[in-house]
Amino acid sequence: MTCLEAQSKIIAYIDYKLEKEEKTEFLKHIKCCENCHDELNIYYTMIEGMRQLDSNLPLSKDFSEELENRMAYELKASKKKREIFQSSVFLVIAAVVGFGIFGYVNFLRILKEDEQKKLKEAQGEYYYSDTFDSILFGKDEETLGLNLDVSTEEPGLTFYEKVREYEMLN
């Protein structure tokens, strides 16, 4: 904000007619620019003094202090609102990221369970039968130390039936 813009908004500031963004920019400029600050102080003293006289109120002892207190309060309030807004935005973003991560992990878990289920269905009993029949029930059971009676084995038994039969024999 330029000095000319700030000086044109002094009366509006004193009368509480500035919008939030305008007021914040105005106060930032007033804090940095001593000429505009002095001009605001003069106008504030004149206008507030006239209002107090017109209302038959006792005159304030220090208009400058009142103005400084008002400016400090309004800057602090503006800063608080901005901080609350930023905190809220941060919390919303953190919540969205958290739910996104939770959803992604849950999706991966469901996907893994589905893949495991499909693998089990595809393998079935015969996967183990094809792989381990020759070792468990084959011709070299004596070299493995197994005491299976091959003659008792019925043709066409499934892998699990063969395992159950073996367990019953031992």
Q: Note the pLDDT of residue 124.
A: 61
- pTM for the structure as a whole: 0.47
Q: Note the pLDDT of residue 148.
A: 47
Of the chain, the percentage scoring pLDDT greater than 70 comes to 79
Q: Note the pLDDT of residue 82.
A: 80
Phi-psi region of 90 (alpha: psi -120 to 50; beta: other; left: phi over 0): alpha
100 DSSP assignment: H
Cβ-Cβ contacts under 8 Å for 125 (sequence gap 6 or more): 158, 159, 160
Q: How many residues are present in the chain?
A: 170
Q: Note the pLDDT of residue 151.
A: 47
pLDDT in tens, 10-36: 899 888 898 888 888 898 899 989 999
37: buried, middle or exposed (CB in 10 Å: 19+, 13-18, 0-12)? middle
pLDDT in tens, 130-167: 666 666 666 544 444 444 444 455 556 777 777 788 88
